[in-house]
């Protein structure tokens, strides 16, 4: 989860929102993360569930679908095909939403606001404090090793250039004639 989502947990501190969250937590959807996330996107996006499946490509609807797709990917064990059924789109839209998530968070204020509200509420409702994505340690170590080798080559190259520069600045280097 992004640092911004953790900081925006305070967004929920209005009395009405806290009451709604308490009522929401007491509802039967508490143990169903898929239903909980869908209801949170409905609540904060001010959009009924049926509108997620309508063939409407307006910016507002698209943002809400993308937030739903990313949140379901992060906090449930649903695959892309199962998530796509909730938004009535194909799995490539879910893949695109997940791939573009960081860009949306950085550059789209509406997406960022809705996503942080939904995730903050979900974390608060489930007492989950942080989302830790799966990390492929092997690929990270391979990348580090690759860059260490590259750094070593660059250091050797720098030493060679420094040596050649010092040698070219030496006045005794040109003591002989050109024809010798």
Tell whether the torsion through CA atoms of 21, 31, 63 and 135 is positive or negative. positive
Q: Find how far residue 25's CA is from the centre of its chain.
A: 26
Q: Is residue 166 part of a domain?
A: yes
Q: Is residue 156 part of a domain?
A: yes
Do 122 and 142 fall within a single domain?
Answer: no
Q: Which two tokens stand for residue 38?
A: 């869908």
Q: Is residue 131 part of a domain?
A: no
Q: Is the pLDDT of residue 7 over 50?
A: no
Name all contacts of 63-68 with Cβ < 8 Å and 24+ positions apart. 63/108, 63/110, 63/111, 63/114, 64/114, 65/89, 65/93, 65/97, 66/97, 66/100, 66/101, 66/104, 66/111, 67/41, 67/111, 67/114, 67/115, 67/118, 68/37, 68/38, 68/41
**Average confidence (pLDDT) over 102-129:** 84
How does the average pLDDT of the chain come out, rounded?
Answer: 76
Do 62 and 81 fall within a single domain?
Answer: yes
Q: Is residue 132 part of a domain?
A: no
- pLDDT at residue 133, rounded to an integer: 52
**Average confidence (pLDDT) over 8-26:** 52
Are 151 and 159 in contact, with CB atoms under 8 Å apart?
Answer: no
Q: How far apart are CA 40 and CA 55, in angstroms?
A: 21
Domain assignment of residue 36, given as a range: 3-126
**Average confidence (pLDDT) over 118-144:** 71
Q: Between 8 and 105, where is the model more confident? A: 105
**Average confidence (pLDDT) over 131-157:** 79
Do 161 and 120 fall within a single domain?
Answer: no
Do 78 and 41 fall within a single domain?
Answer: yes
Q: What is the pLDDT of residues 19-41, one digit of tens each?
A: 566 566 555 555 678 888 888 88
**Average confidence (pLDDT) over 4-16:** 46
Q: What is the pLDDT of residues 75-89, one digit of tens each?
A: 888 888 888 888 888
Q: Is the pLDDT of residue 16 over 50?
A: yes
Q: Is residue 63 part of a domain?
A: yes
pLDDT band per the 50, 70, 90 thresholds, residue 114 = very high
- pLDDT at residue 12, rounded to an integer: 46
Do 101 and 69 fall within a single domain?
Answer: yes
For residue 78, what is the domain's CATH number? 1.10.1750.10
């Amino acid at each position: 989860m992004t640092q911004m989502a953790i900081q925006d947990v305070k967004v929920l501190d209005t009395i009405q929102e806290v009451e709604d969250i308490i009522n929401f937590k007491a509802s039967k959807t508490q143990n169903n993360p898929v239903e909980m996330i869908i209801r949170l996107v409905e609540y904060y996006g001010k959009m009924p569930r049926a509108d997620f499946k309508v063939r409407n490509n307006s910016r507002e609807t698209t943002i809400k679908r993308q937030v739903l797709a990313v949140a379901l990917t992060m906090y449930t064990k649903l695959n892309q095909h199962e998530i796509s059924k909730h938004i009535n789109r194909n799995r490539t839209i879910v893949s695109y939403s997940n791939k573009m998530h960081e860009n949306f968070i950085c550059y789209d204020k509406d997406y960022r606001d809705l996503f942080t509200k939904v995730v903050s509420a979900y974390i608060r409702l489930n007492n989950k404090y942080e989302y830790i994505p799966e990390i492929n340690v092997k690929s990270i170590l391979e990348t580090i090793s690759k860059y260490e080798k590259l750094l070593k080559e660059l250091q050797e190259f720098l030493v060679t250039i420094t040596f050649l520069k010092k040698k070219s600045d030496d006045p005794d280097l040109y003591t002989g004639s050109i024809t010798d």
